[in-house]
Chains A and B, each alone.
Chain A
Amino acid sequence: MTFELIVQAVLLGLLQGGVYALVACGLTLIYGVMKIVNFAHAEFLTLGMYLAMAAFHLGASPYLAALPIFGAVAVMGAGIQRLLIRPALQHPQINQMLITIGLSTMMIGAMQLIWGPNNQVLKLEWSGESMELGGVRLTYVRLISFASAAAIAAMAWWFLKHTRTGMAMRAASQNPQSARLMGIEVMRLNMITFGVGTGLAALAGVLIAPAFFANPTFGTDYFILPAFVIVVLGTMGNFAGALIGGLIIGVAEGLGGLVFGPALRQLVSLLLFVVVLLFLPRGLFKGKVT
């Protein structure tokens, strides 16, 4: 194992970690405000991939379509929250999570019905092109996805810090009861949060669409476990934690791929999950949610 291989694994892991971070910060946002784990989260990523492909086949650049796709998925997510999850708000937590599982199943089925069960690829003209950085070849597609993920995360960060809605989200994460007493409409906020969170997952999907094959269970197969580990590592509900956790898990998986072979990268995530539960049960941020 040469030094170069390690550098390559770390760099590729970092690029992948940027996308993980984007997926995980939507998940953690939803958890923070609504206190439920969205088991359908990865399906919104897959949906984003398919929508990017659809846009591409219509002649638009998938990157230009990112904003409309974000908007469409966010509205859809908000609608789903209103229709399926809000009515269960008084029910036990397990019911709400099972509803998101039902949602996940429905989405997989719908995507299979529309786009078929087989792998599909979005091939840009420059999909295969790459540049060399310190002796490591990195494709432009991956670099763009990382840079955009970083930019989107920064925008989301700004949104949380400086807009009224963002501040309301942070307030509701810290203490839903007090937030309600301060006049924040938590019901409406839940809806917005679910929309924004799932929209972010879809954005991540758009960004990785040129780099991966899409199939209906792609999200569940490759993204849900890292996303879980990331939100736990970064303290559930903590936005910055999800971003940092994303990069850590990306690099860890990259290195793990070297050791165990690429097929067992997920094993690394699970081992990290165990380590976090045993030694860092409150995550890197010691239970703080903002």
Chain B
Amino acid sequence: MTKFLSEWNNWQLVVALGFVLLCALGGSAVESDYVIQVMVLAAVYAAVGTAWSIAGGLSGLLLLGYISFFGLGAYVDGVFFTKLGLNPWLCIVLGFFSAALLAWLISLVTLRFGLGEDYFAMFTVALSQVLKYILLNWDYVGGATGIYLTVIEDNFWTLSFVERKPYLYIALVMLVGVILINYSIQRSRMGYYLAAVRENDQAAEALGINVHKVKTQAMIISGGLAGSMGAFYTQFATFIDPKQVFSLATNFEMLLGPVLGGRLSIIGPVMGASFLKPMQDFLRGWMGGDADALYLILYGAVLAIGILLLPKGAAHYVQIWHRKRYTATNGEEKQT
């Protein structure tokens, strides 16, 4: 066991899964619907953050406009569920594939030879805003009023519950899924490719790694997972509109967890979101009147100053501690 844990990624996996289990147990004891609501959102943000870190962290892409995938998934579910009556579980799968398709298209345009990373960053941000405007002006999918879902009965098959608790369990299961995907990518051959590409893409190319292909794969997986989370979000929130699911503010809130928690880690995005999301709701409740404006100032300041103080994310320091701890007891273990 010590040997297993001495590997940083394994240790992270155990801690992250243990934490999720704790949340599930804690959630089952909580009575307040409000607390459950915050927990579900934190789980969604954690999953989106973990999914982001596959492209934004592991492959080192400047993926700043990530909400497009989440919003697209949300709308796929909203439209197919309300207009065609498609099963929501299928919608989650469909959300994955449509967002993955979008990610592939973005990669086609922006990950070409010689295009700077800045172009990629600007394009993704721009795209999310254009998608917002298209949906705002598209009456068939609800336009500016958005889409409402009605929940009348508890039915696992149609992913609708009158109570909030079942959503928490489903969100946590999805979070575990995303964590496992992130973990297995890091352990696989692809993970090593990604590390090589991230550290020095020219050297990686020289070693025979298809840099473009690896980055595209990371984008497709990362985007697809966000699409699935978006589809789930629609079922949970029962209301979406373009200004909400394509909001740049939400976009950066989602990135805040992985960025401050640690882009390359597994625990970073999970812990980051679990800490920041409840904090946010607490502050919203606490500040009253000008809450929205004060909240924007505060969270902008947290983002800017947090990055200055923790350029490598909080998980970096945990990793240093972890390394010390296991080299001390297990001197002969090779550390990575």
Contact = CB atoms under 8 A, between A and B. Distances in A.
A88 interface: yes
A105 B122 contact: no
A14 B125 CA distance: 25
Interface in A123-138: none
A87 B187 CA distance: 34
A95 B301 contact: no
Contacts of A87: 308
B252 interface: yes
Name B's interface SS.
helix
A99 B248 contact: no
Contacts of A60: none
Contacts of A105: 249, 252, 296-297, 299-300, 303
Given A37-B118, A232-B119, A273-B126, A104 B300 contact: yes
Interface in A241-290: 261, 263-264, 266-267, 269-270, 273-274, 277-278, 281-282
Interface stretch (B7-15, B107-115, B162-170, B173-181): B107-115
Contacts of A98: 64, 252, 255, 259, 303-304, 307
A105 B116 CA distance: 25
Interface size class of A (residues with CB under 8 A): 35 or more
A245 to B, nearest CB: 14
B110 A277 contact: yes
Given A103-B304, A104-B300, A266 B130 contact: yes
Interface in A103-119: 103-110, 112-113, 117
Nearest to A36: B118
Given A232-B122, A274-B109, A99 B308 contact: yes
A103 B303 CA distance: 8
B126 A278 contact: no
Nearest to A103: B304
A39 interface: yes
A282 to B, nearest CB: 8
A206 B181 CA distance: 50
Given A99-B308, A101-B252, A267-B133, A112 B296 contact: yes
Interface in B304-327: 304-305, 307-308, 311
B209 interface: no
Interface residues of B, number: 47
Contacts of B255: 98
A226 to B, nearest CB: 9
A277 B109 contact: yes
A93 B117 contact: yes
Contacts of A229: 126
Interface of A: 31, 36-37, 39, 84, 87-88, 91-95, 97-99, 101-110, 112-113, 117, 220-221, 224-225, 228-229, 232, 236, 261, 263-264, 266-267, 269-270, 273-274, 277-278, 281-282
A224 B128 CA distance: 12
A220 B296 CA distance: 15
Contacts of B295: 109
Contacts of B252: 98, 101-102, 105
Contacts of B116: 236
A99 B112 contact: no
B237 interface: no
A274 B123 CA distance: 8
A108 B296 contact: yes
B126 A225 contact: yes
Given A37-B118, A236-B116, A266-B129, A106 B311 contact: no
